[in-house]
Amino acid sequence: MASTDVKVLGAAPSPYVNRVQSALNLKSVNYELLEEKFGSKSELLLKSNPVHKKMPYIDEVWTDGPSILPSDPYDRAMARFWAAYVDDKLSPAFRGFRNAEGEEAKAVARKQVMEGIMLLEDAFAKCGKGKDFFGGDTIGYLDIALGSSLGWMRAVERMADIKLIDETKTPGLFGWAERFHSNAAVKDVIPKTEMLVELAKMMAARAKAQ
């Protein structure tokens, strides 16, 4: 990797920070992670990031290496559409499931999450066109948008003793998740399941104490 002065401010457990890390790794851009305390924002972070930057910004600044957004206008629009779905629909449903208390609330939240995952199973078949990733042969925009949450998904699976993505119900996503998680650009970025389980327990205990 070429030497750069790129610094990433954020907490390692954050899927949004993981998105930036993965995108920079795909572009072979060397960077330094300046660790923030999870759940808080330092003065440096607020001063350094007054405008929300998304992955297309990385494509525009570093034009070398693989493109993160598809070149085809239709494919690009679809990638953005489903990435917005992940952020606006699936992620809130997932957080609701993680924080749900009581069997009835958990059942409702789980149903919402599974409906979202099944939609993405169908989207993978359409966007991936039979290839390894949503982006085709290589990891792209939508892969990063969804894949950055894999660590938290697996943590919740372990804590709730369920499978959100499995080989039977979601074979496309199951294979995609294995390939994404083992890719050199992201395998050292996605936090370990054990660490996220402990963090989730700590956050839940803190919430109950308030």
| Residue 81, pLDDT above cutoff 60 | yes
Does residue 209 fall inside a structural domain? no
Q: Are 116 and 89 in contact (CB under 8 A)?
A: yes
Q: What is the pLDDT of residues 23-66, one digit of tens each?
A: 999 999 999 998 877 655 666 555 555 444 445 578 888 888 88
Under DSSP, the state recorded for 130 is T
Mean model confidence pLDDT for the chain? 87
Please give the backbone phi and psi of residue 172, each rounded to the nearest 5 degrees, phi first.
-65, -50
| Residues 79 and 147 both lie in one domain | yes
Report pLDDT digits (tens) over 104-129.
998 999 999 999 999 999 999 999 99
The stretch 164-179 carries a mean pLDDT of 96
Do 138 and 161 have their domain in common?
yes
- 96 and 191 housed in the same domain: yes
Q: Is residue 101 part of a domain?
A: yes
For residues 54 and 98, membership in a common domain is answered with no
pLDDT at position 48 is 56
Q: What is the CATH number of the domain that holds 133?
A: 1.20.1050.10
CA distance 129 to 127: 6
Distance CA 68, CA 138 (A): 9
Q: Tell me which of 61, 87, 103 is where a domain ends.
A: 61
- pLDDT value at 3 more than 60: no
Tracing tokens 């104490």 back to the chain, one arrives at 209
DSSP states along 62-120:
--SS--SS-SSHHHHHHHHHHHHHIIIIIHHHHHHHHH--SHHHHHHHHHHHHHHHHHH
**Are 108 and 187 members of one domain?**
yes
| Alpha-carbon torsion, ordered 41, 45, 47, 53, to 10 deg | -110
- Do 57 and 77 fall within a single domain? no
Within a domain: residue 66?
Answer: no
Same domain, 54 and 136: no
Q: What is the DSSP letter of 137?
A: S
Task: Give the pLDDT of residue 209.
Answer: 79
Do residue 151 and residue 92 come from a single domain? yes
For position 46, which CATH number holds? 3.40.30.10
Per-residue pLDDT at 164 exceeds 70 = yes
User: For 133-143, how does the pLDDT look when each residue is reduced to its tens digit (9 = 90+)?
Assistant: 999 999 999 99
Task: Give residue 7's domain range.
Answer: 2-61
Structure tokens at 37: 């305390």
31 and 101 assigned to the same domain: no
Residue 114, domain member (yes or no): yes
Q: State percent of the chain over pLDDT 90.
A: 60
Asked if pLDDT for residue 149 goes beyond 70, the answer is: yes
pLDDT of 155 strictly over 80: yes
Residue 20 has pLDDT above 70, yes or no: yes
SS3 at position 124: helix
SS3 sequence of 35-64: ECCCCCCCHHHHHHCCCCCCHHHHHHHCCC
- If asked whether residues 140 and 92 sit together in one domain, one would say yes
What pLDDT is stored for residue 166 in this prediction? Answer: 92
Backbone phi and psi for residue 7, each to the nearest 5 degrees, phi listed first? -125, 135
3-class state of residue 194 by DSSP: helix
Which pLDDT score is estimated for 43? 61
